[in-house]
Amino acid sequence: MTATRTIDSVTARDGTRIHIADWGHGAPVVFSHGWPLSGDAWEDQMLFLANHGYRVIAHDRRGHGRSSQPWHGNDMDTYADDLATVLDTLDLTGATLVGHSTGGGEVARYIGRHGTGRVAKAVLVGAVTPQMMVSPNNPEGVPMEVFDGIRAGVQADRAQFFLDLTMPFFGFNRDGAKVSEGMRQSFLRQGLQCSIKSAYACIKQFSETDFSEDLKKMTVPTLVVHGDDDQIVPIATTARRAVELLPQGRLSVYEGAGHGLPLTHKDKLNAELLAFLRG
């Protein structure tokens, strides 16, 4: 099937409709969101950068947000191919790819599978790269029991599980943290837009996938941003390892910050993204 587009979607080869927001004019910046969210997770960065002369594009991963909810294709290779559909259908060149959490893995796998022909730079924010789960290549990784617990939570009562997850996600469970009920409810809204099939299947993808070889192929300048109090994606086994594999990687650590940087540290992140784009 030939890829097609409307004002707010592109269509993958298997017929899956991928929702996109495509705003502004200028050099393209393409955003990949985390689990179980949607492109809305990047709204603060998109508004900021569009107002500073960039074209910003965010897609909802298949099964997430406003995209189609197919039973099939809930795997990292297909996610990367869907990102390729976005870039190819919009005929983007010189793009900066920005991925948060699972989206960081998606960006890495896109370059691993499709190369850097359309890409000028990349940004990995709280990314799951090179691997989350404990493995022979990642002996200090997160035990499988943690991800089994996430699967159990999604199956048992995913609305309550997502709402509870917002506390460590945004660092709201730390002493002195100012809790935003709005952020929590926005996370819940986006999470419940995701099909339970896609939410469940994606857990295996963000936890078990080894992106080491993909990172080695990321030959473009790559900014790695991570909070040193990230309770969801621990910095020691992800960002600090990723910069060792990236040919042109640079690590920016946000002291005391958790996982939800695009919201909790949006002003700092926006300024750093703008400086990186202009640099």
Across-strand partners of 98? 31, 123
Of 186, 205, 172, 185, which Cα lies nearest the Cα of 78?
A: 205
Does residue 30 sit in helix, strand or coil? strand
Cα separation, 110 vs 268, in Å, equals: 27
Cα separation, 129 vs 70, in Å, equals: 26
Residues that are catalytic? 101, 230, 259
Q: Are 76 and 84 in contact (CB under 8 A)?
A: no
Give alpha helix (H) positions in the chain. Answer: 43-50, 76-89, 102-114, 144-169, 181-193, 196-208, 212-216, 239-245, 261-264, 266-278
Across-strand partners of 14? none
Of 76, 77, 86, which Cα lies nearest the Cα of 17?
A: 86
Cα separation, 122 vs 9, in Å, equals: 23
